[in-house]
């Protein structure tokens, strides 16, 4: 990748892991497009706190292919191109098979797979299409996806989530092979529990101590734990990590 200032698109709601990733990339010299689905104010607050200048907000539903084309195009136009994509947008819902009716089961699978897997695939297609056809600029690029420990450890109460993240890992490794001849590195990270707003009530509840005890460190991950790994994967020296899925679970699940 070029040593000039790189340009990154980070999907997600502009908070938690997404905000931390945007901050880490900006600190490393990237100009960043922070994507959100609807909370533009939160995304703007993230952008306002990033080091450097030129950062922007783009918005749209990752599960909507038309919206994906629109916000990726907006990011390309605003930044003058994209060199790094971080697929962070995702949803988590609990619908255990044994206690969920068939209508809810179908609805949950459509929603979760639509965002976590199909949405990731569509954003990736749009960014790779840009990388392959841009008239000038740095060669190559990086695609980094936030997967999950649940793809390996299992998600008994959220099977659609676990399956969607396993699919995202498989997509990562397939594209690592197909895009290498174009100089594009593709990798993923697989966090365990991370202390975000999404899981805050769960960690504060009766299951919190047991969740923290899953790791021998006695805690869950922090967004910065994920962001530092993503920033490394986006760095010029990490191309040879293409195809890898990095476990970020504090030794709570070994494979």
Catalytically annotated residues: 161
SS3 185: strand
- Collapsing DSSP to helix, strand or coil, 167 comes out as helix
Quote the distance between the C-alpha of residue 17 and its chain's center. Answer: 8
What separation in angstroms does the CA of 103 have from each of 100, 106, 109, 118, 243?
Answer: 8, 5, 10, 21, 37
Measured CA to CA, the distance from residue 181 to residue 98 in angstroms comes to 46
Longest dimension (CA), the chain: 55
Contact predicate 32/26, CB 8 Å: yes
């Amino acid at each position: 990748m070029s040593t000039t200032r790189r340009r990154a698109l980070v999907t997600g709601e502009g908070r938690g892991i997404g905000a931390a990733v945007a901050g880490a990339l900006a600190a490393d010299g990237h100009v960043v497009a922070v994507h959100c689905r609807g909370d533009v104010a939160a995304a703007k607050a993230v952008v306002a706190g990033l080091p450097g200048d030129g950062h922007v907000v783009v918005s749209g539903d990752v599960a909507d292919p038309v919206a994906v084309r629109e916000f990726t195009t907006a990011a390309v136009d605003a930044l003058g191109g994209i060199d790094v994509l971080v697929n962070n947008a995702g949803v988590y819902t609990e619908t255990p098979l044994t206690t969920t009716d068939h209508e809810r089961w179908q609805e949950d699978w459509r929603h979760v797979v639509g965002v976590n897997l199909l949405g990731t695939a569509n954003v990736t297609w749009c960014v790779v299409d840009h990388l392959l056809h841009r008239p000038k600029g740095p060669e190559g690029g990086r695609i980094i996806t936030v997967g999950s420990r649940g793809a390996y450890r299992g998600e008994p109460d959220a099977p659609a989530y676990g399956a969607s993240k396993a699919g995202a890992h498989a997509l990562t490794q397939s594209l690592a092979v197909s895009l290498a001849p174009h100089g594009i590195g593709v990798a993923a990270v697989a966090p365990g529990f991370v202390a975000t707003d999404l899981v805050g009530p769960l960690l504060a509840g009766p299951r919190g101590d047991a969740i923290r005890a899953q790791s021998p460190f006695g805690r869950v991950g922090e967004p910065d734990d994920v962001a530092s790994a993503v920033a490394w994967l986006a760095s010029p020296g990490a191309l040879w990590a293409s195809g890898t899925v990095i476990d970020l679970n504090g030794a709570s699940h070994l494979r």
